Amino acid sequence: MYQHLDVQGNPIALPVGKVACIGRNYLDHIEEMKSVVSASPLLFLKPKAALCDMGKPLSIPTDQGECHNELEVAVLLKHAVSKATEDEVLAAIWGIGLGLDLTLRDVQRELKAQGQPWERAKSFDLSCPVSGFVPIDSITDLQDLRFTLSINGEVRQSGHTAMMLHKIVPLIAHMSQTFTLDAGDIVLTGTPKGVGPLLVGDTIEATLHDKITVNTKVVR
């Protein structure tokens, strides 16, 4: 059963909610996917059943084609926000962590070709491993966070929040204009280039600036 944790592994007294995500928020990822910049933020949701602890072995589907990594900065909310201002969003953030938006890429391609939504590719159980969270007051600048994902000792993704098309606080305010974000919800803020298939047996290291390091592995 997933529980929000801080970086020391202590439980955070917040309910477990949904995960609100944005697609196409880094130009280099848009280019590698041969996609286009969206006129407005491309939003989708993952249910709470998608959440799991990134620090524990990651179980991925092995019978639905490739399962790709997408490392992202994750934002944990401590208060609900609805039609919020940017100041209200800042006041609602508990802290910052890392999340993997695991994606069944072959399934996603088929769904796109049929003009169907992405949930089967993005929202399956355990599709959102997350790290522990650091409190927001330990973050100097949300738009100056660097994060990396290494697979088997080789860097696959390297991102910098300064390169986001939609910045973190305005993005969450925008989301809240359409649907309420609740206490205990997590917002994933987009992935940079370097997505690729994960294989059973892979070792993973995910880092956020000098704040978070998670080591884990992929299992069936």
Sequence spans of domains, the chain: 17-216
**For residue range 147-174, what is the model confidence (pLDDT) as tens digits?**
999 999 999 999 999 999 999 999 999 9
Q: Which amino acid is at 117?
A: P
- Residue 38: pLDDT band by 50, 70, 90 thresholds? confident
Can you tell me the mean pLDDT for 207-216?
A: 97
Report d(CA 49, CA 47) in Å as an integer. Answer: 5
3-state SS class at 30: helix
pLDDT of residue 220: 85
Can you tell me the mean pLDDT for 12-41?
A: 94
Helices and strands per DSSP (H, E), number in the chain: 5, 15
β-strand partners of 81: 181
One of 3.40.50.720, 3.90.850.10, 3.30.420.40, 3.20.20.140 is the CATH number of 17-216, namely 3.90.850.10
Mean pLDDT estimate for the chain = 97
pLDDT of residue 39: 85
% of the chain at pLDDT higher than 70 = 100
Q: Which amino acid is at 38?
A: S
- Per-residue exposure over 175-203, b if at least 16 CB sit within 10 Å of its own CB, e if not: bbeeeebbebbbbbbbbbbbbbebeeebe
3-state SS class at 81: strand
Can you tell me the mean pLDDT for 40-51?
A: 97
Report d(CA 1, CA 48) in Å as an integer. Answer: 10
pLDDT of residue 169: 98
List C-alpha distances in Å: 135 to 76, 92, 99.
Answer: 9, 12, 16
Which residues, in sequence order, are CB contacts of 215 under 8 Å at separation 6+?
55, 203, 204, 205
3-state SS class at 90: helix
